[in-house]
A and B are shown apart, each in its own frame.
Chain A
């Protein structure tokens, strides 16, 4: 997935000399290929993220296509105001790349973990939010971000989960869901994003559930979410992000207005990590490991049937 990211970035930069990569002194090894093949388009802006985002706005104003890279804890979270005011307010074609989202830096603690970045970016007018789940969605997301010619936040989470799709994807559609598994209509449907899609696949197959991946979190097409709701007995959202303001919130906002169904939001509860450990450990701490998720889905399935029959 990281190779797909690097390849896409190099390809876009070789094709368009206006593409620039700005990094806040992050991306060791990740940018080796870019630095080798597009050295003039590589700018290490120093450990100065606020200035870097403002500077990207200035570069975009005079015709460049900046891709601004940092850890999600910093790009976008530390720089939300610069993104809002300097970039989104003017609809500038800047792609913000937030790496290590969720609990990737599981041993480093809260400063490097990011479970509020989707919530922070979704509310910024005109800013699109992407969250690819595998290498194929990553490639499509990079192409989508470049083609958008407006402000985009691309969330890069845990990248070693394996493939979700069997091969390269068609161009992403704004707000479109990608169906990954087709299951029973009398059971809940899963909508997952980023690193949680691969884990959701195993559960969907075991429990005969439909599963959709949401690589584009904003915009999110109401008709596609409603169609998923109609095709199932209720919706379960899965994300390595807070249950507040992320995919679960976006789905709930749509269904409560257009297609009232029960929605179970599986994500990070409203709290910080208490301990450190492996990524798998932190998923368990927050109830996002596969046993916990399975138990929640089974409870949801039971209680949904009860409420329907009652």
Chain B
């Protein structure tokens, strides 16, 4: 297996970020490693696609470049979506996909900051956002133009530190920070409405002092436009993008079926899921 830390030159060819191909990477990893959390990755595929393709800056295509923008995956359960992006960037290769979860593998089932390209150790929820707030505060103090994006699950909003961090981000006018809520409506044991109703998220974050927009989290053009609009809102306020998403998006039999938070693929469901993506060449 290749060493993870070696960045390779980006070319247009490996910066294609086609969502269907990225979902296929997720399926390949999940199948190779017999892992769970497929649906959690699928709901953020378009979000990370737009971020990596159009917004995140990695000077020299180096995941550890000092001048990079920071993507903090606070909902660490979606990490396979980020691995799929890292494969598109050439930071991971087929050996990482096929070797996922094999003994001694470096890529874990949740975000781990020791992996170049991942910024935080998360999965224990309510951690990554606070670290992102600290990074944003540090960049602000340095007068840097770098930006921080933090993807937070809607279930993760149950965690208290998220709201502590939201207060601090607004108080310190962190206009270099964008919170992106993956509002897929589910958490581990049910819908967010059934478990712990979140109410009007836009109103909540607006009242905390964020510039807030809602968007269809699977419409790439709309997501891109919303991110640009939020950054254009001017100084002094942190940004919140509430992305309405579908857990399991892209494979009809997984969509909004919370079993795919936990279910592992078998040869048949793997083949059916890959077919459902409609990629040329399909599952065989």
Residues in chain A within 8 A of chain B (CB atoms): 43, 45-46, 48, 50-64, 81-82, 85-86, 89-90
Contacts of B165 in A (CB 8 A): 48, 51, 54-55
4 closest Cβ contacts across the A-B interface? A58-B134, A54-B130, A55-B134, A51-B164
C-alpha gap A54/B120 in the complex (Å) = 10
In the complex the two chains form, is A90's CB within 8 Å of B133's CB? no
C-alpha gap A86/B121 in the complex (Å) = 7
Minimum C-beta distance from B156 to chain A (A): 13
B168 at interface by CB-CB < 8 Å? yes
C-alpha gap A186/B44 in the complex (Å) = 70
In the complex the two chains form, is B138's CB within 8 Å of A89's CB? no
In the complex the two chains form, is A58's CB within 8 Å of B138's CB? yes
Say whether chain B's binding surface is mostly helix, strand, loop, or mixed: helix
B8 at interface by CB-CB < 8 Å? no
C-alpha gap A33/B13 in the complex (Å) = 58
Contacts of B129 in A (CB 8 A): 54
Say whether chain A's binding surface is mostly helix, strand, loop, or mixed: helix
In the complex the two chains form, is B124's CB within 8 Å of A50's CB? no
Q: Count the A-B residue pairs with Cβ separation under 8 angstroms: how many?
A: 90
Contacts of A82 in B (CB 8 A): 127, 130, 161
B213 at interface by CB-CB < 8 Å? no
Q: In B230-253, which residues have CB < 8 Å from any A CB?
A: none
In the complex the two chains form, is B135's CB within 8 Å of A59's CB? yes
In the complex the two chains form, is B114's CB within 8 Å of A54's CB? no
In the complex the two chains form, is A64's CB within 8 Å of B138's CB? yes
Asked if A58 meets B168 with Cβ closer than 8 Å, knowing A64-B138, A81-B124, the reply is no
Asked if A55 meets B120 with Cβ closer than 8 Å, knowing A61-B135, A89-B113, A90-B113, the reply is no
Q: In the complex, which residue of chain A has the Cβ closest to the Cβ of B135?
A: A58
In the complex the two chains form, is A58's CB within 8 Å of B130's CB? yes
Q: In B120-159, which residues have CB < 8 Å from any A CB?
A: 120-121, 124, 126-127, 129-139, 141-142
Residues in chain B within 8 A of chain A (CB atoms): 113-114, 119-121, 124, 126-127, 129-139, 141-142, 160-161, 164-165, 167-168, 171
Q: Which one, A51, A53, A63, A86, contacts B138 given CB within 8 A?
A: A63
C-alpha gap A64/B139 in the complex (Å) = 10
User: Can you list 19 contacts pairing A with B, beta carbon distance less than 8 Å?
Assistant: A51-B130, A51-B161, A51-B168, A52-B130, A54-B127, A54-B129, A54-B130, A54-B131, A55-B165, A59-B137, A61-B119, A61-B131, A62-B142, A81-B124, A82-B130, A85-B121, A86-B120, A89-B121, A90-B113
Minimum C-beta distance from B76 to chain A (A): 10
In the complex the two chains form, is A55's CB within 8 Å of B131's CB? yes
Contacts of A57 in B (CB 8 A): 130-131, 134
In addition to A52-B164, A58-B133, A58-B138, 7 A-B residue pairs with Cβ atoms within 8 Å of each other are A48-B161, A50-B161, A52-B130, A55-B131, A55-B137, A64-B138, A86-B120
Contacts of B135 in A (CB 8 A): 58-59, 61-62
Contacts of B130 in A (CB 8 A): 50-55, 57-58, 82, 86
C-alpha gap A45/B138 in the complex (Å) = 14
Asked if A50 meets B164 with Cβ closer than 8 Å, knowing A59-B135, A61-B135, A90-B114, the reply is yes
C-alpha gap A81/B126 in the complex (Å) = 11
Contacts of B160 in A (CB 8 A): 50
C-alpha gap A45/B137 in the complex (Å) = 11
